[in-house]
Amino acid sequence: MSNWPELDEIQGRLSSKIGTYFPEVTGGTPTFQLTGVNHRTYSTICFFHLAVDTRSKGQPQGIAVKFYRKEGGGADLAKIQYSSLLAIWPVFGNGGLLSIPRPLDFFPELPALVMERVEGEPLQKMIRKHYFSAMRRPALARACEGSGEWLQRFHHATRGATGRLDVEAKQNQAMVNVLTLESQGFTAGLCRQMETFLVWRAKDVIGTDMEMALIHGDFTVDNVLLDGEKIIVLDLHGKDRNAIYHDLATFLNSLELMRLCWPLLGGFIDLCAKSFLAGYFGKTKYSANALLYLRLTGLVSVALEILARRWSQPLARFWIRRRLEHLLHKLLSEHGAHTKIGRSR
């Protein structure tokens, strides 16, 4: 890491702006220490500790610098995330239980996004860690409820006029994805059942007006941090205004997809899902059809993505197919469909 050219440059830039980022740190000679690096698919996050000597006032601060890949529109993505965080900070920067990382700076030529470091563990990790403790499950469900409350506040702050889903485009892509799944090992019977179900649900939502707002873009259990009772949400894209059900469907699918690699009982996942929806909607009615349709199209897309990463692992492919099949059957049954999706052989 010490040989990474951008590291020296970023340390110099951070040092020159300490007074801007942390005006409460006065006097002394603040220095930065690199404390960790997290390599992700599309970015690398470096964590710095701002150490100050005993003459300085205030507590030492932490900084996270997220470097994006320069190829593939990394600079644009960094700029969008910075702008989104900056715009929404007044809504979440009040020190309450619902929060986001405080945006500090954006360096387009690196490209890099600078944020105040936040503490906490991903909700996904917490569920895996404490699932087998019956005493901790209510707290996990409450965290899902808090996640719904966070998302509702975000959508409420950015909402606009009502609109409709781009059903035709989604339907066309979903059908292509189903055919691709079939070519990669999903049974023909299951794929025909998915097509039928998608066509049926598309008719339910094609003419429905629904609330529109900025969409987080990746609202999953992995991007929700828990710090005690505090909910902190990461990776805010916020570049598209669309139906609120996109984010809701993404979170619910991320809960269910945890069962691909962890032995979570369906009853517990259902509890977390209901708690999440209660946190978002309370007692307000919502479009279950729109939510279901986006969950279905999203699951088909995610299945393809997972298969692409597991192309050389036949057992993983088999497990993914079984889980998707089970979820389709479950969703169909829960929503009172007259057509029964049976187990494909």
pTM to 2 decimals? 0.89
State residue 334's pLDDT score: 66
Q: Are 97 and 229 contacting, i.e. CB atoms less than 8 angstroms apart? A: yes
Q: DSSP code of 260?
A: G
Query: Distances in Å between the alpha carbon of 160 and those of 76, 168, 213?
Result: 24, 22, 6
pLDDT 10s digits, 68-89: 887 777 788 888 899 999 999 9
Question: What gap in Å lies between CA 238 and CA 218, rounded to an integer?
Answer: 10
Among 163-167, 273-277, 287-291, top mean pLDDT goes to 273-277
| Region at 224 (left for phi over 0; alpha for psi -120 to 50; beta for the rest) | beta
pLDDT 10s digits, 5-62: 567 777 778 878 888 888 877 666 677 778 888 887 778 898 988 776 544 455 557 8
Sheet containing 103-107: order of strands = 31-39, 43-51, 61-68, 112-116, 103-107
Q: Are 64 and 45 contacting, i.e. CB atoms less than 8 angstroms apart? A: yes
Rg for the chain, CA atoms, rounded: 22
- Cβ-Cβ contacts under 8 Å for 228 (sequence gap 6 or more): none
Tell me: pLDDT of 332 over 80.
Answer: no
The whole-chain average pLDDT of the chain stands at 84
Provide the token pair at 239.
């570049």
Q: Are 25 and 56 contacting, i.e. CB atoms less than 8 angstroms apart? A: yes
Question: What gap in Å lies between CA 27 and CA 52, rounded to an integer?
Answer: 9
Provide the token pair at 63.
């900084």
Place of tokens 């279905």: 296
State residue 282's pLDDT score: 96
Tell me: pLDDT of 344 over 70.
Answer: no
Look at residue 67 and give its three-state secondary structure: strand
List, in order of start, the domains of the chain with CATH numbers: 5-116 (3.30.200.20), 121-334 (3.90.1200.10)
